[in-house]
Structure formats: structure tokens, C-alpha cells
């Protein structure tokens, strides 16, 4: 797996909003907040597949996420707000 720079786009998902009412300690919420969405071409370029774990680093910290292919712009990754994302932002 090779390193590459991406534009990080933190966001809140609809599924995540529903899970807040159920509890942030639930498996569903944890799975949502530890999964990043990335363009298929970017996944191929760095040699990862759906479900693979990747380490995302910023100047503020690092966190591990599972990958999922999504219809997002190439060069950008989307990560739901949550404890891992907080480790990436200052």
C-alpha cells in the first residue's frame, strides 16, 4: 500500500444521525464512524480493496479506517464525524 495525499472531507451521515439516538457505543455507530469513503480509482492506485484498513494521517494526528468504494470525487476522502475523525482535526 502506498501513501498519497487526499483532501479530507469530514461529514455527518444520515445513518449516523439515527444512531446518535440509539447510542454511540453501539456496533452500528462505531462501524459508521470508522469507515471512509473513497473513489474506486484512488483505491486501486494505493492498492486497497473494500474492507481493507488504512491509516489516515494529518498534521494533527492519525486514525485507522476501513475503506469503502463510493461515488465521491477522485482525490477526496469522506469520513463521518466521530472519535477517529476528531484525532485528525486540530
| Contact by Cβ (8 Å): 90, 45 | no
What global pTM score does this model have?
0.84
User: pLDDT over 70 for what percent of the chain?
Assistant: 88
Of 33, 3, 1, 39, give the one whose Cα is nearest residue 16.
Answer: 33
Residue 17 Cα distances to 13, 22, 29, 41, 82, angstroms: 6, 9, 9, 29, 11
Domain ranges of the chain: 7-81
pLDDT, residue 15, reads 72
> Which one is the CATH code of 7-81: 3.40.50.2300, 2.40.40.20, 3.40.30.10, 3.40.640.10?
2.40.40.20
- The 10s digit of each residue's pLDDT in 7-39 is 999 988 777 666 666 667 778 888 889 999 999
* Mean pLDDT computed over 50-72: 97
Amino acid at each position: 500500500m502506498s501513501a498519497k495525499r487526499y483532501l479530507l472531507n469530514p461529514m455527518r451521515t444520515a445513518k449516523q444521525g439515527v444512531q446518535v439516538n440509539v447510542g454511540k457505543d453501539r456496533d452500528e455507530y462505531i462501524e459508521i464512524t470508522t469507515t471512509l469513503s473513497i473513489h474506486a480509482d484512488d483505491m486501486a492506485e494505493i492498492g486497497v480493496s473494500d474492507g481493507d484498513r488504512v491509516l489516515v494521517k494529518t498534521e494533527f494526528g492519525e486514525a485507522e479506517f476501513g475503506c469503502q468504494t463510493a461515488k465521491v470525487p477522485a482525490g477526496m476522502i469522506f469520513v463521518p464525524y466521530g472519535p477517529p475523525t476528531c484525532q485528525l482535526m486540530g
